[in-house]
Amino acid sequence: MKRGGTDICAMLAVDKPAGASSHDIVNAIRRITGEGRVGHCGTLDPFATGLLIVNIGPATRLSDYVMGKSKRYDALIRFGFSTDTDDRTGSPLETGELREELLDKDFAASLLSGFIGKSMQVPSAFSAKKVDGRRAYELARNGMGAELKPVEIEIGEISLESISRVEDENGAGILWSVGMEVSKGTYIRAFARDLGMKAGCPAHLVELRRTAIGNIDLSQAHSIDEISVDGLRNCFIDPVEACSLARCEVDAQTASLVGNGSRIGIDRANLQQERIAIVYDGRMLAIYEALAEGDPQAATRICKPCVVIPGGVEGVR
């Protein structure tokens, strides 16, 4: 099948296994579908597992509307030493004393709660951030460390699941299992590094599993082995839900106007948000937003297109 010439326009939720890169998953979906226009909504490191939302065909134009959503993770953090990548794949750097208070759940809960809210975070040196047009991890691997600027992040929720000791080839350690909800751009590896600094004992990320992106969670995801051409449409997720939008069902005449990128009037009662998904015949045709001007008392508001998807995105429930 020639890649790039299919009629598929949809979104998938994939449960990425450890060892595969996000790009590996994209390539696998390309092979399965024969569609060259495939992209993902937020990178997961190869050692990490969990939810990866993949867009196929013209649905790749919706990526920015998904990547900005909050994300949930289950993280396992090891105290005892730091690494140059801030995770288990790196080389050990600084070591520290495993004080008994690291086993105290009250101490852990108090320390973790201090990270809730907005803060400035310096990304990991091995992150995908660009510095003068090059990825930070490329510079780091070549011994050309770059000074990364802190970025604003927000941690909405954080909870301690368990504390345990570990003894292995790397020596003794203490593990904290943590659940988190974070904003776009938050590096959990960098969080583990910063947590160790606040705890007074170097730490790094051992395991990471993404469990949700916005309204989509792992209950809707399929392993790459479960996805096939014949059963592909059974794996599609609802694009409206993935973009966290309200929906407006339109008739055939309005759908034709939407397809042409025309402005349309939308019942004010449907506009709980400034942006809304336009749906016709089980497909998401576009994302529209309300114009600022107009009669504030009018029953309808004039809206303009943010993005129009030719033929629409399948999977609307």
Residues 185, 106 share a domain: yes
Q: Give the pLDDT of residue 298.
A: 79
Taking 90 as the threshold, does the pLDDT of residue 144 lie above it?
no
Residues 249, 164 share a domain: no
Residues 235, 202 share a domain: no
Taking 70 as the threshold, does the pLDDT of residue 135 lie above it?
no
> Is 281 noted as a catalytic residue in this protein?
no
This prediction has a pTM of 0.90
CA 132 – CA 148 distance, rounded (Å):
11
pLDDT in tens, 79-119: 999 999 999 999 999 999 999 999 999 999 999 999 999 99
Residues 87, 46 share a domain: no
Phi, psi angles (nearest 5°) of residue 301: -120, 140
Per-residue pLDDT band at 273 (split at 50, 70, 90)? confident
Taking 70 as the threshold, does the pLDDT of residue 139 lie above it?
no
Domain boundary among 224, 240, 256: 240
Residues 190, 172 share a domain: yes
Which of the two residues, 301 and 96, has the higher pLDDT score?
96
- Alpha-carbon distance values, 19 to 23, 25, 239 (Å): 12, 11, 28
Residues 227, 137 share a domain: no
Q: What is the mean pLDDT of the chain?
A: 91
Give alpha helix (H) positions in the chain: 22-33, 63-67, 105-113, 136-141, 188-199, 239-242, 252-259
Q: Is residue 27 part of a domain?
A: yes
Residues 104, 232 share a domain: no
Q: Is residue 1 part of a domain?
A: no
Take residue 186 and report the two structure tokens written for it. Answer: 């938050």
Catalytic residue among 15, 45, 86, 238: 45
Q: Give the pLDDT of residue 130.
A: 53
Residues 198, 117 share a domain: yes
How many domains are contained in the chain?
3
Per-residue pLDDT band at 129 (split at 50, 70, 90)? low
Phi, psi angles (nearest 5°) of residue 262: -75, 155
- The parent domain of residue 53 ranges over 10-69+214-240
Q: What percent of the chain has pLDDT over 90?
A: 81
Domain boundary among 173, 196, 213: 213
Q: Give the pLDDT of residue 140.
A: 47
Residues 130, 46 share a domain: no
Q: Which CATH number is 111's domain given?
A: 3.30.2350.10
CA 140 – CA 129 distance, rounded (Å):
11
pLDDT in tens, 165-223: 999 999 999 999 999 999 999 999 999 999 999 999 999 999 999 999 999 999 999 99
What's the number of CA atoms in the CB half-sphere (13 Å) around residue 64? 4
Residues 298, 219 share a domain: no
Is-contact 29 53, C-beta < 8 A? no
Q: Is residue 276 part of a domain?
A: yes
Query: What number of other Cβ atoms are within 10 A of residue 189's Cβ?
Result: 26
